[in-house]
Amino acid sequence: MTIPPDLYANFLYEPVPWMRDAACRPHPTDWWFPKRGEPVEQAKIICYTCPVRNECLNYALNIPGLQGIWGGMSGRERRDIRSKPTKPIRHGTPAGYHQHLKRGITPCEECRKAHNETTKLRMANHRQKRNNTND
């Protein structure tokens, strides 16, 4: 797959709107574009706290060959994601919620609701068990 030249032009000269909110902006760019063998932990830690991490990762996953750390993942990690066959997401289930997260995608509303309901039930069961042991 060849990348249209205008895609690089847009990236180099006109950043994508979500990039304005990226947590990496005030930090040195060489953290995200290390030489082979240099540590990447600083960049990944910042990525995991970034409000636009999913958008960044999706951006990078759609551009094969893009170098550097994007969305908390190296080029090799992104290649691994792209090369693995993916099962369809089971929307509306707690498992679907986790499938979204594993792929670096913001969970859909149906999956978020299912996850929240399951979490509420688990918390209620936990509180009930704790109260029963205190009696």
For residue 34, give every residue at least 6 positions away whose Cβ sits within 8 Å of its Cβ, in sequence order, or none.
40, 43, 68, 69
> Tokens in use for 11?
């990236």
Type of residue at 96: G
Instruction: Tell which residue, 92, 124, 123, 126, has the closest CA to residue 109.
Output: 92
For residue 85, what pLDDT is reported? 67
For residue 13, what pLDDT is reported? 46
In the chain, domain spans: 5-83, 94-134
Q: What is the mean pLDDT of the chain?
A: 84
Task: State the Cα–Cα distance between residues 32 and 42, nearest whole angstrom.
Answer: 9
Task: State the Cα–Cα distance between residues 95 and 114, nearest whole angstrom.
Answer: 9
Q: Could you report the per-residue pLDDT of 40-90, keeping only the tens digit for each?
A: 999 999 999 999 998 999 888 888 888 899 999 999 899 888 877 677 888
Instruction: Tell which residue, 26, 15, 78, has the closest CA to residue 50.
Output: 26
For residue 4, what pLDDT is reported? 42
Q: Is 81 exposed, middle or buried (0-12, 13-18, 19+ CB in 10 A)?
A: middle
